[in-house]
Amino acid sequence: MSEYAIEMLNITKEFPGIRANDNITLRLRKGEILALLGENGAGKSTLMSILFGLYQADSGKILVNGKEVHIKDPNDANKYGIGMDHQHFKLVEVFTVLENIILGCETTKFGFLQLKEAREKVVALSKKYGLYVDPDALVEDITVGMQQRTEILRMLYKNNDILIFDEPTAVLTPQEIDELMKIMKELAKDGKSILFISHKLNEIMKVADRCTILRKGKYIDTVDIKDVDPEKLSELMVGRKINLVSNKKPAEPKETVLEVKDLVVKDKIHGINAVNHASLKVRAGEIVCIAGIDGNGQHEFINAVTGLMPIESGHVILNGEDISHKSIRYKNTHGMSHIPEDRHKHGLVLDYSLEQNMVLQRYFEDEFQTVGFIKDNDVRGYANRLIEQYDVRSGQGPITISRTMSGGNQQKAIIARELDRKHNLLIAVQPTRGLDVGAIEYIHNQIIKSRDSGAGVLLVSFELEEVMNLSDRILVMHNGEIVGEFDPKKTDIQELGLYMAGAKRQNMGETKESAV
Amino acid sequence: MNTKNKNMKSIAALDSIIASLVCILGGLLVGTVVLLLLSIVYPSIPASEAIRGIQIVLAGPLSSGNVRSILFNLGDMLLETTPLMMTGLSVAIAFKTGLFNIGAPGQYLMGAMSSLLIALSFPKPNNAGSALLIWLLAFLSGAVLGALWGAIPGLLKAVFNINEVIVCIMTNWIAANIVSWVFYSTGDRFINTAEVKTQFIRKTFTNNIETAKFGLDKVFPGSNIDISIFITIIIAIIIYIILEKTTFGYELKACGYNRNASKYAGMSEKRNIVYSMAIAGALAGIGSSLWFLNGQNEFLWNTYLSLPSEGFNGIPCALLASNNPIGVIFTSIFLRWIERGGFNLSGFTDYNEYVSALIIAVIIYFSGFSKYIKDKLSKSRTEKIIKEGNE
Ligand SMILES: Nc1ncnc2c1ncn2[C@@H]1O[C@H](COP(=O)(O)OP(=O)(O)OP(=O)(O)O)[C@@H](O)[C@H]1O
Ligand SMILES: [Mg+2]
């Protein structure tokens, strides 16, 4: 028997205009956790997709337990015990969580689905690993965090023993990440072999045994985690030193740009108040962050403010004007920029080219059209400028179909578009989700720059480090209410955690009053 | 960089065309096999007939015998292409917005009814000017009524999120019954009672309303061809420009690809759904207007019995063209071409014309593979580029 569960030897894969994998060799030992590290677009997802049978390598071999195999499709992969948790979830929107988990290995009796047994197994798994899901919710209605948990449960449900995690933690809360790390370690102890992709070096340090590093499609090195530190890893990855602790000037808040008064938003499924009389203010020149555990109303709060969800009651005031019931177009053109939580659902038209996506909210402006005709050259020029300025990497530049871009580069494209639009309020939900450290550094600096040039920034992030690093003021949201306000310099992660979990709350005078 | 990008784009277009051609070739091959099988089953047909048969089908109107009948067949084929091209466009533009317009038959009927009513209601015009005016009015009314009929499923989809396919099927039959009822209740006013053909509406030439011919009838002597084929080609080009070059087309397609993202971007996705269906309806309506305003085509008013096939045939026409409006020009002509070949097949051999229907059906099945073929093509091309680059 071979010492390796998986060996991928000299894998090469080309896409139009780019060599995504260039002679990469990767070996996964049995029962180990191997991290895969690389910048956005380095070719990690491509390599994993080849292993999972979604793509065919142009050349190279794959060995499972020492035997060469040909993995033609995910069914083959499943046959060899390979399961994958995708970076961009592959869930059926109109199915329930339970149905999605059992999809492809349904137990039937006389041709009828045996949902009861499946449900028991799923509930047991989700209890065991603390992966909370609502089995009966439709996937289109749940948050990305819960979609992620659904994907993980699906792998566990299928009893796969080679598990690929493509950026599973990008959308999880710190607590959930800790949980997942524990689960992964336990799974490895059970003899499962795990491939783990993450841009977060501390996670890799915490769980991985070894780490393989890719750069621009090429194999760089494989290191033992006990021999390296995060600095060394990031240096191997980008080829230079990274400074993630932003050295920003203190905020100089000016006039209020966004005021939310007593906002109530109904939950789409259960009809309860997902946002319950929440109020806040964002002033020009400051970064206000809503911290909280996923599913406490942040999602609905942002969607109501931006216009993606209807408001039950309350007011949203932008630059002194009540925009509660204005159209999204109106908000877009009156100073609001929005980096959405779900880049595939809202952020991009995936079948449009990169340049078409760059003008998604601006195609009708005189800069890009005359008498209804799009000025192709101006769109191209504009897109090229953004691509260069924000270092958006893709196979064919402006005409690349957005669907084929790597996750991190899709995110960079959205960020470029939203930051470049004229705005004095920037709403950013998980803006650095899925970005490599180099890109995060850059995006953080861009957000700070936007603040310093006079915009108010409303940030939603589940990553407490990002929250602490970036914000000038922190609001904690719990159960649809704002339960505390903090100065990042005078608080710490532990204190925030207590508020986020609902163990403590401040007396938010303003909120209470208006609630009556 | 720019020229390289342009090349990439035209290469992609080339790939689609090649893919469509491969589908067609596949269909023809299977058709040949069927002809061969038939010749085995029926001893009266020698195997050599199969090859001749497929040649006849392929040659379409050109296989009609002498020059005279070839020209006559060509002319009629082009005339028949008109409504098909329009319903093909109708289906294609709705597809681009993510909607399945299976309501083209109903829209087609409503267009036919309104243009016939207008063309035949006015007193016989006695000069070319007023005839043209009535023609225009009838033509436009066909577009308008088609648009209204298309807008209904669009509205229901936009406002109540009711599946457009279901509503389209219902509006098809509602249209069929309305049309029958209107002509039934107007009695002899519009019905052709002259030649004991009481199930037909009078041809519009009886009221001096005919689409201009600009001498085309001299080029294709004996056929009823008029300039409508050029009108439809121009419309197809306009639709292409709208979709590819305008902000309106940009919105429609964004809406079709990703409704959530277009909402996020501030587009009114509901309005776009209604517009798209209305345009689709207008196109189908124009198709029937042009067909009946030709002057020589008869309208069977008992429409509640069956829906017009032109409406449904728009679907394969659009599919084969990958919903590209320019592609629809060619696929609609091609489908009619093969159909003519099928008629000739039954005329000149012992096969019957259903064989051509079968070949068309097979081609349509193959068109399901066109994306697959296209992907294969682009893959092998990149491999080649890479090899050359390495050398
Ligand atoms: N289907 C495809 N067609 C064309 N190009 C593709 C396709 N999939 C990926 N690519 C390109 O291959 C490169 C590697 O992409 P990949 O998704 O593997 O990156 P990644 O390392 O996972 O990055 P990230 O951290 O941003 O997710 C990118 O430049 C991407 O644009
Ligand atoms: Mg990736």
A38 lines ligand 1 (CB under 6 A): yes
| Residue B148, token pair as written in the block | 């209204």
Closest Cα to residue A362, out of A350, A378, A351, A346?
A378
Percent of chain A with pLDDT over 70: 96
Closest residue in B to A364 (Cα) is B247
Please give the C-alpha separations between residue A293 and each of A53, A289, A476, B109, in angstroms, as whole numbers. 35, 13, 9, 58
Closest Cα to residue B105, out of B172, B41, B18?
B172
| Residue B171, token pair as written in the block | 């509006």
What integer best gives the mean pLDDT of chain A?
A: 88
Residues of B in contact with A399 (CB under 8 A): 5, 8-9
pLDDT by residue (tens digit) across B74-124?
999 999 999 999 999 999 999 999 999 999 999 999 999 999 999 999 988
A259 near A283, Cβ under 8 Å?
no
Ligand 1 centre and the CA of A194: distance in Å?
21
Strand-strand pairing, A18-29 and A373-374: unpaired
A274 lines ligand 1 (CB under 6 A): no
To the nearest whole Å, the CA of A338 is away from the closest chain B CA by 9
pLDDT above 90 (res B12): no
- The domain ranges of chain B are 2-390
Residue nearest to atom 1 of ligand 1 (CA): A404
pLDDT by residue (tens digit) across B224-247?
999 999 999 999 999 999 999 999
pLDDT by residue (tens digit) across B265-276?
999 989 999 999
pLDDT by residue (tens digit) across A417-443?
999 999 999 999 999 888 888 888 888
Q: What angle do CA B251, B257, B262 make, to 5 degrees?
A: 45
The answer to whether B261 contacts A348, with C-beta atoms less than 8 Å apart, is yes
Q: What is the DSSP string of A139-167?
A: GGGS-HHHHHHHHHHHHHHTT-SEEEEES
Closest Cα to residue A34, out of A212, A157, A153, A168?
A212
**Considering every ligand atom, which ligand is closest to the CA of A49?**
1
The answer to whether A348 contacts B262, with C-beta atoms less than 8 Å apart, is no
Residue B168 and residue B153: Cα distance in Å, rounded? 6
Residues of A in contact with B255 (CB under 8 A): none
Closest Cα to residue B353, out of B341, B337, B361, B362?
B341
pLDDT by residue (tens digit) across B187-237?
778 887 776 666 888 888 888 889 989 989 888 998 999 999 999 999 999
A21 lines ligand 1 (CB under 6 A): no
Residue B33 and residue B191: Cα distance in Å, rounded? 46
Ion ligand 2, residue ranges at CB < 5 A = A 45, 87, 407
| Ligand 1 pocket test, candidate residues A8, A396, A405, A414, most atoms within 8 A of CB | A405
Q: One digit per residue, pLDDT tens: chain A, 516 residues?
A: 678 999 999 999 998 888 999 999 999 999 999 999 998 889 999 999 999 999 999 999 999 999 999 999 888 898 898 988 887 777 888 888 888 888 877 666 777 777 788 888 888 888 877 777 888 888 888 877 788 788 888 888 888 889 999 888 877 777 778 878 888 888 888 888 999 999 888 899 999 999 999 998 999 999 999 999 888 888 888 877 766 666 778 888 889 999 999 999 998 777 788 999 999 999 999 999 999 887 889 999 999 999 999 999 999 999 999 999 999 999 999 999 999 998 999 999 999 999 999 999 999 999 999 999 999 999 999 999 999 999 899 888 999 999 999 888 999 999 999 999 999 999 999 998 888 888 888 889 889 999 999 999 999 988 788 888 899 999 999 999 999 999 998 888 888 888 888 888 887 654 433 333
B246 near B103, Cβ under 8 Å?
no
Beta strands in A178-270 (DSSP E): 193-197, 210-215, 218-224, 256-266
Residues of A in contact with B247 (CB under 8 A): 363-364, 369, 372-374
Of A327, A340, A372, the CB nearest to B248: A372
> What ipTM describes this predicted complex?
0.83
The answer to whether A360 contacts B265, with C-beta atoms less than 8 Å apart, is yes
To the nearest whole Å, the CA of A351 is away from the closest chain B CA by 7
- The average pLDDT across B171-185 equals 93
**Considering every ligand atom, which ligand is closest to the CA of A440?**
1
The pLDDT assigned to A513 comes to 38
Residue nearest to atom 6 of ligand 1 (CA): A404
Domains, chain A, in order of start with CATH, read 4-238 (3.40.50.300), 243-335+423-516 (3.40.50.300), 347-421 (no CATH)
Residue nearest to atom 18 of ligand 1 (CA): A43
- How is domain B2-390 classified at the architecture level of CATH? Orthogonal Bundle (1.10)
